[in-house]
Structures are given as C-alpha cells and as structure tokens.
Structure 1
Amino acid sequence: MHSPSRQKAVFRFAPSPNGFLHLGHALSALTNQKMAQEQGGRLLLRIEDIDQTRCRAEFEDEIFRDLAWLGLEFESPVRRQSQHVADYQEALSRLEALGLIYPAFLTRGEVKARLAAGEASGKPWPRDPDGAPLYPPDDRLRPASQRAHLLKNGLRHTLRLDMQKALSLVKEPLTFQETGDGEKGEITADPSVWGDVVLSRSDAPSSYHLSVVVDDALQGVTHVVRGLDLFHATSVHRLLQQLLDLPVPVYHHHRLVLGADGRKLSKSQGSTGIAALRAADHSPADIRHLLGF
C-alpha cells in the first residue's frame, strides 16, 4: 500500500455539472479550503463531467460563478474528466489484462425480475450500502463463447468488476486513514459488500469509482475531503488503488447538510442552491456562518 509521502498536501473539490451547487457542496468546498490553508497545501478544482448525458455547460458555468462568489480560489488548469478518457481506458485495460472485467448484459427489467423472484422465494436479495440490489451472477458465470456471441451482435452492455476474483488477488488487508466526522483512525475496507460494481457504461466511459481513483493519483491528491455519504464507497476505491498500484490518500468524510425532511440535500432542491441564496441577497459571509465557518 502506498501512502502519501512528505510532499506538500494536495486537496481537491470535485463537483459534477449535472445540477446547481447547494449548501452541501459549499460545505465540502469550504472544508477543503480550510484544511488546505491549515496545512499550507494546494487546492485543486476538478470538474467530474464524465457522464455527458447529464452534465451541461450551463451548470459548469454556474459552478464557477458560485465558487468565485464564495471566495474560493483554485489552481489552474482545471481538470475536466471528459478530456481525459484515455486515462480511464488505460486503467480499464490494466484490469482487463488481469482478467477482472466482464461484460454485463442484463437490462434493468431483467435485474428487477431476478430480484423479485429471489425475494419471492423468501431469501432476501443482498444489497449494497446505498440500498441498491447487488447485480446477479448471470453474466459473470456466462460461458465465454456465449459472451463473445452477444458482443459480436452488438448487444448493449456495461463493464463490471469481478469482485470475488479481484479480492483473490489482494494478499493484505485493505485499510485507509480516516480523519472525518464519523469513524476515525485506520479503517478496514470491505469492498465485497458492493458486489460487481460498474466500471464503464455505454453513456459514460468510466464510472465514478474508477475515474476518481485515477484522477486523484494523476493529480497527486494527498487528502480526499468529501461527504459522509461516500464513506462506504472508499472500500471500492481502496480495492482499485491496490489493483492499479496507485497511492492512497488520507480520507476525511465530513458531516452532511440535511434538508427539512432529514435527508441529505440534492441538486433538485432549489431552495438550498447557492445561486438561489445569492439571488435572495444572502452574502458569502452568511453562507459561511450558516455552515459553521
């Protein structure tokens, strides 16, 4: 396991331009800024626009306006995932060479039918930490000849990680250092609870899991600061880092900003959007005070 060396600390804020920033994003950006200042480190901005079906230029423009209004400054140039697809393809190729990737053809309807049949038999279907059902084993167990036939016929598919096989290559416990608002200290990662995660789709050449570990490594990020909703996903990231021989940042998962319903904010909640708050004559100081800065 590679740990950050005694180089200058590097932090990053990495929003996706698939909606307007809200208070939760402001908390994350300001936490990154504060920690970078405390450690005399660098602060980077990354635009995670790998999903071109949902990301839009107007949302990216608004991200820059919101961050500038909040008084946040980042180093240039800004990394945009859509400009670095070759980096993710290279990582996919390395995993494929290890025999860890397989094409998955089941549609959402077919997965839903498997789930319903399994639960009807009285056996609960396994779910990941986010509550989503794990992908059935059909495609992982599919004969190579049948797999090749489906690919030749151009059947739409995703690329998934063979979790069991990947874990068989790991000869030491996967751990990471956590300094955030939940568990602290050395955390043992358990990627198996996520099942065979998606690494690439037809509408996005790299999944969040794959692109984020590749980007963090290429940008020399030493400290990943993000919301507690991504704490469990770190287990998958640690596995990919191990398989790809990438450095391991220190992780800091901060508290979430919750809405009136007690749930974490989403980009669809316009009342908590930074642009809406700015239009309502709130000041950057108001936002900082509201978030505890």
Structure 2
Amino acid sequence: MNTREISSLSIISNLYEIFIFDLWGTIYNGRALFPGIKLLLENLKARHKTIIFLSNSPQLPNVVAQRLSRLGLSTLHYDLLVTSGGEANEQLLSGISPVISSFNGLVFELGPNRFPNTLPVNKFTTTESIVEANWIFNAGPDKESNQLGDYKNLLVGAKQRDLPMLCTNPDKLVFHGEERQLCAGGIAEFYESIGGNVSYIGKPYPNVFERCLEFVDNFDKKKVIMIGDNLETDIIGADSIGIDSVLIASGVHQLSDSIKNSISSNRLLNLEKKLGTKATFVMTWLAW
C-alpha cells in the first residue's frame, strides 16, 4: 500500500490515542516553532490524547524542556519528553545495558563544550588525547559550523586504534532555519565507513520507543502513531515496533515544494524503496 497523503492531522486524529512527535524538523526548526504547532497540540490535549516528544537530541530532557519553554511550549502541551542524550546518560550511569558494557576506561568526547551534560563525568574519566583514549563518546560537533572534514583525521587515528564509539544522536544532519548542520550521526556514519565500530542510542532503535510506551498503561499499538520528518530514524523506528507513522515532507528530506504546496511522490517512493521503509501517511508540514 502506498503512503497516503493527508493535509492535516485532524483527519486521522480519531484513529489514535498516543501521538509520538519528533521535535527538530517537525515541531520546530531549531529557532522557532512551526506555524500552528501550539494550536495542534492544544487540540490533541482537548481530545484527551497522550502526547510524547521523542527527540534524538544529545541533550538531557531538562535542557530540551527549557528550550521548548522559551519557544512557548509548557508541560501543559505534552505528557512526556524522551531524548537520546537522556537515555545515553541513564544507560551509562546504570551500566546494565549490553550496548554500554564495552565502554570502559578513558573516554574522548566529541562535543564536550556544546553538550556538556550528557556524559556522566563523575563516572568516567575524559582525555583530550585520542592516543590515550579507550573509547569515543560522540554527542556531535562542538560548534554548529563544524563540518565532517574537521573530524576525518581524528577518526582515522581512532580507527587505527580500533576505538569503539558511542553515538548519542543517530541523526546525520538537521536544518537550523535554512542552514544545513552536521549531527553526531553524520560523524558516526563516516567512522563506520572506514571500519569503525559504532553503537547508537536513539531513533530508529527500539529501546527509545519502548521507553516512551512504558509511560502508557494498557496501550494498543494500533492506537499509537509516530510523527516525524526523517525516514531513517522516525519512520524506520516506527516500523521496528509495529506502529503507524506520519512523514513530514518539508523536513530533512526536502520532499515538498513550498511554492506549489505539493509533495514529490516519485522522490518519496524512491527514497522509501532505497531505505526499505514506508510511512503510513505523509503531509507537507505538520498542521491541524
């Protein structure tokens, strides 16, 4: 069945009780909320829907919550906020996850100044030398202006020592306003391409979706839907746990024409085939 195009979320809102939203590229663009977002969330809450924000931000949830507050969203607009950075922090603190068990010894951080709170510093000793490090903690570029080329020599050196990497944001890139910015997943993708060993926490991996659904008692998966702009993370992740999804075409894949207010169906179909996934619905941008 082909992905069905819809013009508004209200069309399908009666079919679902739990709405899981991506943030960047879906709710806001890094600088401001997209038009109509507050009204959309208020309409869902008025209908007693559960609203969960699931972000691949490497930041802790309280940091993201503060950003949302500055943009005009309070906890009256959502029920739960889960971030990949928060999940990484918890797993590193507990040490019980099989994904985390191999990350021991001196750690080299990517992004320590921009993302200073994700790594539990009281539990791990950091080093500024890749030669001394036992593993890499990848939260993302340390500056918004950083490009992949800024890290290639470092990563080649890390691969020569076969250092494992923990990536806390599987997104490869985002648009900050109109500006394209590198994310931790883009760095991790290059490291894997040269033979590096990378473990990921965040969408599309099932654990973060399962964390969201732990919040809800006695739910029916047929009543849960994921809304996001990234086929590789949001939609594949929804597929992985068997829930429906909405792709926002104006997001990271740039599948919509803002002038014609239309979606490129052929480009969408080709990208879905390439990635082996398919959204249940697609809409140009998130609207009620």
TM-score interval w.r.t. the shorter chain?
0.3 to 0.5
With normalisation by structure 1, the TM-score equals 0.36
Greater relative CO (CA pairs within 8 A, separation 6+): 1
More strand per residue = 2
More helix per residue = 1
With normalisation by structure 2, the TM-score equals 0.37
